Amino acid sequence: MLQTTKIRTRLSHDLGIESSAAQKMGLPYGSTIPWIAEIPDFGAHIEQGLGGFPGEFEVPDLMGDHQFDRTLMIQKMSGDTGLSQRAIKRWLSQKEVELHHAGGTIIQIVPKKIHGLRYSGSARQLRKRK
């Protein structure tokens, strides 16, 4: 996984990305990722979904379990677009994007390279609620 350095403590708690990690993520040197309540905010890097599906969307009943939640996310995308779950999975793979727990029931579609940033956040918080 990617390594990060230069944590700057400001109100926004931005995480500065070192040059080698920024390069792997396809970001310019000195880029920052804002953190809100222990969760990276990839909002500046959201990808539009298949067939005009929004890059950020809500999925009820998330549990914080990646497999279970991913199934719910794909079902939501499939139901809203009318495309098969298989087509959604294929598109995610071909576009090299991931479904990111952005906090609570909010999901973001973000590039795999950026999502590779090591963190524990929203899914972990969902598991703690139990």
Q: Is the pLDDT of residue 5 over 90?
A: no
Lowest-confidence range among 13-27, 38-52, 56-70, 101-115? Answer: 13-27
Which tokens is 1 given? 């996984």
Phi, psi of 101 (to 5 degrees): -70, 105
At residue 91, the pLDDT reads 96
Chain CA centroid to CA 130, Å: 22
Cβ(127)–Cβ(64) below 8 Å: yes
Nearest one of 58, 55, 46, 69 to 126, comparing CA atoms: 69
Domain ranges of the chain: 45-128
Instruction: Give the C-alpha separation, 56 to 102, whole Å.
Output: 9
Question: pTM of the prediction?
Answer: 0.73
Q: What is the pLDDT of residues 29-84, one digit of tens each?
A: 777 777 777 778 888 889 999 888 999 999 999 998 989 999 999 999 999 999 99
